[in-house]
Structures are given as structure tokens and as C-alpha cells.
Amino acid sequence: MPPNPDWRPRVVFDVPEELLSEMSKTFPYGTRNKVLTIACEQILQAVQKHGEVIIYLIMSGKLKLFDGLSEEFPRVYGPNRSI
């Protein structure tokens, strides 16, 4: 039997209720899936490039997504500006 052409792989994981609630309030409608997909792609690329140490750094809180973000970012791309 041929695979269903409408099938899409999915990843399911648990998050605290407060996190889901905040994401629902904060992310513009329809963007959550794309943002999380991009974040997963970037994490995968970092692990492939630098090894499992990336996983341990993230899990220990020593590596954060926006640690290297310039102080200029909020001024240039603030909440009322488009990227």
C-alpha cells in the first residue's frame, strides 16, 4: 500500500501549561510551528557541527538561544518594526 501523501511527520513533547499559555498569547497566529521548526533545525545544525556538547550546554542552561544577540537588536528590530 502506498504511503498517504497527506502524512507529515510530527514531534510531540510535553511543556508546562504556563509555557503553552504564554506561547499562545505571544506568538502571532500560525507562527508557532514554523518558529519551533526553525529552532530545531538550528539546534540540529549546531549539534552536527560541534557535537553533543551543545545538548549538554543547552540542558545545563549554559547556552541560550539569544546570548549572542546584539544589544542593537531591540532598537533596530523592536516590537513595532518588521524584519
pLDDT along the chain (83 residues), means of 10: 82 95 94 94 95 94 79 62 56
pLDDT at 2: 66
Grid cell digits, residue 76: 533596530
CA–CA gap between residue 26 and residue 20 (Å, rounded): 10
Backbone angles phi, psi at 24, to 5 degrees: -65, -35
Torsion sign over Cα 57, 55, 35, 45 = positive
pLDDT at 79: 64
Q: Could you give the 3-state DSSP secondary structure of residue 28?
A: coil
Tell me the one-letter amino acid at 74. P
CB neighbourhood size of 46 (10 A): 16
**pTM for the structure as a whole:** 0.74
